[in-house]
Amino acid sequence: MSTMDVAKRYVELVKEQKNEEALEELFAQDAVSVEPVAPPGQDRTKRGVAEIRAKGEWWIQNHIVHGAEVEGPYPHDDRFAVHFTYDITFKPENKRFTMNEIGLFTVKDGKITKEEFFYPT
């Protein structure tokens, strides 16, 4: 698949909250996922699909999603960007807020090899 094909499919799945399917279908086994800062007690970089899946599961277990908007994809060569806006409650603190971030994805040989998230820390 071309970068734009991967990008469109990623956005299609994530809009339906099928992040797990996106990971299985579109990510390289050794893909890396990088946050701007390390979550408490975690590394900021996850290496490989298993670690990325575990991060996603942690996120789902700890948040209630009241609303989500996914804008994009915005391509440039072998990369694409996506703008995420989530209205969520962080369950451990019962704190509701809007999470606004950009994801930057790198594609190689039809698979996502890197995702990097951009947001104020």
Q: Which stretches of the chain bind a copy of itself, using CB under 8 A?
A: 4, 34, 36, 71-77, 79-81, 83, 100-102, 104, 116-121
CB of 23 to a copy of itself, least distance (A): 20
CB of 102 to a copy of itself, least distance (A): 4
Using CB atoms within 10 Å of the CB of residue 109, give its burial: 0 to 12 exposed, 13 to 18 middle, 19+ buried: exposed
Nearest partner of 80 among 30, 115, 119, judged by Cα: 115
| Residue 15, CA atoms < 13 Å, CB-side half-sphere | 12
| Residue reference for tokens 């409650």 | 89
CB of 21 to a copy of itself, least distance (A): 23
What is d(CA 117, CA 99) in angstroms, rounded to the nearest whole number? Answer: 12
Which one, 76 or 95, has the nearer CB to a copy of itself?
Answer: 76
Which one, 17 or 98, has the nearer CB to a copy of itself?
Answer: 98
CB of 100 to a copy of itself, least distance (A): 7
Which one, 13 or 106, has the nearer CB to a copy of itself?
Answer: 106
- Token digits for 22? 């996106």
